[in-house]
Amino acid sequence: MEEQWAGLDPETIAVLAGRPHGSGAPVNQPPVFSSIFHPGDGYDYAREGNPSWESFEETIGALEGGHALAFSAGMAAVASVLGTLPPDSLVVAPEVAYVGSRLYLQRLSDEGRIRVRFVDVADTEATVAALDDAALLWLESPTNPMMTIADIATLCSQAHSRGIPVVVDNTFATPLLQRPLDLGADVVVHSASKYISGHSDVVMGVTVTRDAGWRNRLHARRTSGGGIPGPMETFLALRGLRTLPLRIERAQQNAEELARRLEDHPQVERVLYPGLDSSPGHELARKQMRGPGAMLSFLVKGGGSEAEAVCERARVIGHLTSLGGVETTMERRARYEGEEGIPKNLLRLSVGIENVEDLWHDLSQALRS
C-alpha cells in the first residue's frame, strides 16, 4: 500500500487514494446499505466488514503511512485502544488534553480497570520520568486546548527503550501536517468528526498502525465491540477528506493571520498557537509538523465573564463546540465539567476557511471592551 504512493505528496494522495478501479468501476465507492452479503466475496455480516469503509480506510492509511480502521466515533477508537490493555495496566497520559479522553481514562481508573498517571507531555523529562511501570504512553500534540507540543520522536524512543507502546491522538494536526507513525508512534487515533470529514456533518473515528499485532487486536475489538461506522458516514468522511489539503491550507493561513493580529490586540492577554515565535512549542512544532495548523487559543483580558461576552458578541464566528469544520467556531472551554484546569478566560478558536477580513472584523468588534 505504501509503495503505490511512494514519491507522491500527501496532497495528491488525499485526492487519489482509495478509489475503485477497473473497467466500469465507479470513481467513488458508493455507500453499501446492506447488513448481510451473499457468501463468497469476503463479506458476510456487516459488523465484520462493509465495502463502504474500505475506500476511507485506504485513504487515511495511505496518508498516515499505516493500516487504518474506521470506528463509529473518535471515542470508539480511543476506547478500543484502551480496551486492549490488560487489567490494572498503567497509562501515562496528558494532564491537559481532549476532555473526552481524559474523562474516559479517569472513569476507567475510578472503576479500578486501569491506573492512570497524568503528566505535562510538553515536559519531556517529566514524561520520561513518569514511564516507570507503564503499559502505554498516550500523547496528544498539539494538546487541546492549551496548544502545547509534545516531543513525539524523543518520547517514542524513550518509551520503546522501556518496551512501552505509544499512541498519538493526531486530530488537531491531521495527517497532512503531522505523521506520528514516522516519528515512532505505534498507533494513531483520530476523531474523523473534525478536520478529516471537515464539514461538521459526521461523527466518526479511526485508528492507524503499522504493527500487525495492534491491527489485529483493534480489528477484533471493533468487530466484537460493535463500534463500527455507518456506510453513509464513511462516504461523507471520505468526500470531506478529498479536500482536506485545500481546507487545511486556507484555514491555517487564516489562523496564522488571526494569531498575529490577536497578539497585538489590547484586549488580549496571550495567544497560544504553535505558529507564533512566542509559543513555547514553536521550534519543536517546526521540526515535527509541516505547519502549525488552524487551532488556536487566546486569553481575554479580564475573567470568564469577559471571555464569555466575546463569544456572545460574535456574529460571523459561531459560538459552538467542536472543531475542524469549514466554519470558524469559538468557545470558552472552562465552562465545561472536567475542564476546571483550563484558564477561565481562555477561548479556543477553530479557524475555518471564510474570508479572513470578515473573521477579523467579527473578532475585533466582539473584543471591544
The residues annotated as belonging to the active site are 47, 98, 169, 194
Within residues 196-215, the interface with ligand PLP by CB under 6 A covers 203, 205
Using rule CB under 6 A, residue 100 touches ligand PLP: yes
# binding residues, ligand PLP (CB under 6 A): 16
Strand-by-strand arrangement of the 295-300 sheet? 268-272, 295-300, 346-350, 329-332, 318-319
Among 31, 74, 291, 343, contact with ligand PLP (rule: CB under 6 A): 74
Q: Is 73 in the site for ligand PLP (CB under 6 A)?
A: yes
Nearest C-alpha neighbor of 236 from the set 175, 190, 294, 193? 193
Count the helix, strand and coil residues of the chain and give each as a percent rounded to the nearest 5.
40, 15, 45
Interacting residues with ligand PLP between 175 and 194 (CB under 6 A) = 191, 193-194
- Residue 171 in the binding site for ligand PLP (CB under 6 A): yes
Buried b (16+ CB within 10 A) or exposed e, 96-135: bbbbbbbebbeebbeeeebbbbbbbbbeeeebbebbeebb
Using the rule CB under 6 A, is 29 a contact of ligand PLP?
Answer: no
Under the binding rule (CB under 6 A), the answer on residue 101 touching ligand PLP is yes
Dist. CA 47–CA 45, nearest whole Å: 6
115-119, strands of its sheet edge to edge:
67-71, 205-209, 187-191, 166-169, 136-140, 90-94, 115-119
Question: Residue 350, interface with ligand PLP (CB under 6 A)?
Answer: no
Task: Map residues 307-326 to x or -, x wherever contact with ligand PLP holds by CB under 6 A.
Answer: --------------------
Q: Which is nearer to ligand PLP, 245 or 325 (CB)?
A: 325
* Closer residue to ligand PLP (CB): 144 or 279: 144
Burial of 270 by CB count in 10 Å (0-12 exposed, 13-18 middle, 19+ buried)? middle
Interaction of residue 174 with ligand PLP, rule CB under 6 A: no
Tell the smallest beta-carbon distance from residue 353 to ligand PLP (Å). Answer: 19
Diameter of the chain measured on Cα atoms: 68
Task: Kindly state whether residue 75 participates in binding ligand PLP, applying the rule CB under 6 A.
Answer: yes
Interface with ligand PLP by CB under 6 A: which residues?
73-75, 98, 100-101, 140, 144, 169, 171-172, 191, 193-194, 203, 205
